[in-house]
Amino acid sequence: MNVNEYWEDIDSRLEKLIDVGYVKLPSLKEYDLDFLASDISNEMGTSTFKELGLNHKKFLDDLEFHKYLTPKLHKIAKEAFNYKGDLSNQYHVARKVEPGNSKEMFRAHFDSHIFTMVLPIKIPETTEEGTAGDLIYFPYARKVPANEITNFIGKAYYKKYATKKGIEKFSSYNPKKIDNFRDYQPLLFVGNTTLHTNYPVSLGCSSFRLTLLAHFFDPSPKYGVGGLLRLIRQR
């Protein structure tokens, strides 16, 4: 993969991010994703989540996130969201969902970080009746939290939609987006205003589903809502 070419139109893509709340990036298909998926999966073992393993970090380094993307997002965060923190405020985690995992579905939530990026590494094939963990998301489902109190209240309030019926109800009066990631294009969105969740990875799927989740710039203190939730989940 030619890294310079991959990022050549990043400025024009990011211009849309604040207006619509999300943007797609170029496909990762030119990268050896099968090899990467195998390496990361082996690192994870039976875990569903793993924070920034060696192969995960190497992939981000190969794409030169630190050069082409992070500084631009930091500038947007400061200008559009009055973010006061530094570039190092990031959280990277791999998510692997095995077919039939009944826990990793319809868990609708907002992220505490300003920006969230989903990088598809392995997307399974499925049967006509099944689903492959497609992402469901609602850009700008809420306003940017003014402080930790409103962030906590908002997270608690929207928990009532964290079921299949809840998502169906929320979808009836809010514009819904669905991304199956078969194009292997990463999705970048405003994480703390976008309600998002996943369809299940059905038993009929051909393999596990592996995505890398990049979170940028948590405006809350270290032990704010986001930090405490990550401690509770042991991530």
pLDDT along the chain (235 residues), means of 10: 94 96 97 97 97 97 96 97 94 97 94 96 90 97 88 89 97 96 98 97 95 94 59 54
The amino acid sitting at 50 is K
With a CB cutoff of 8 Å and minimum separation 6, the contacts of 91 are 51, 113, 214, 215, 218, 230
Predicted local confidence at residue 5, as pLDDT: 96
Query: Looking at domain 3-232, which of 3.40.50.300, 2.60.40.1120, 3.40.50.20, 2.60.120.620 is its CATH number?
Result: 2.60.120.620
Q: Which of 185, 211, 213 is nearest to 90 (CA)?
A: 213
Sequence-distant (≥ 6) Cβ neighbours of residue 52 within 8 angstroms: 92, 93, 94
CB of 192 closer than 8 Å to CB of 91: no
- Give the pLDDT confidence score for residue 86 in this predicted structure: 92
Specify the pLDDT at position 67.
96
Separation CA 174–CA 79 (nearest Å): 28
Q: Please say whether the beta carbons of 216 and 73 come within 8 A.
A: yes
104 neighbors 48 (Cβ within 8 angstroms)? yes
pLDDT computed for residue 45 by the predictor: 97
Domains of the chain by residue range: 3-232
Hunting for tokens 């995992």 — which residue is that?
101
| β-bridge partners, 93 | 51, 213
pLDDT computed for residue 80 by the predictor: 96
Predicted model pTM: 0.93
Q: Where do the DSSP E strands lie in the chain?
A: 22-24, 49-51, 90-97, 115-122, 135-138, 177-179, 187-190, 195-198, 209-216
The strand ranges marked E within 80-149 are 90-97, 115-122, 135-138
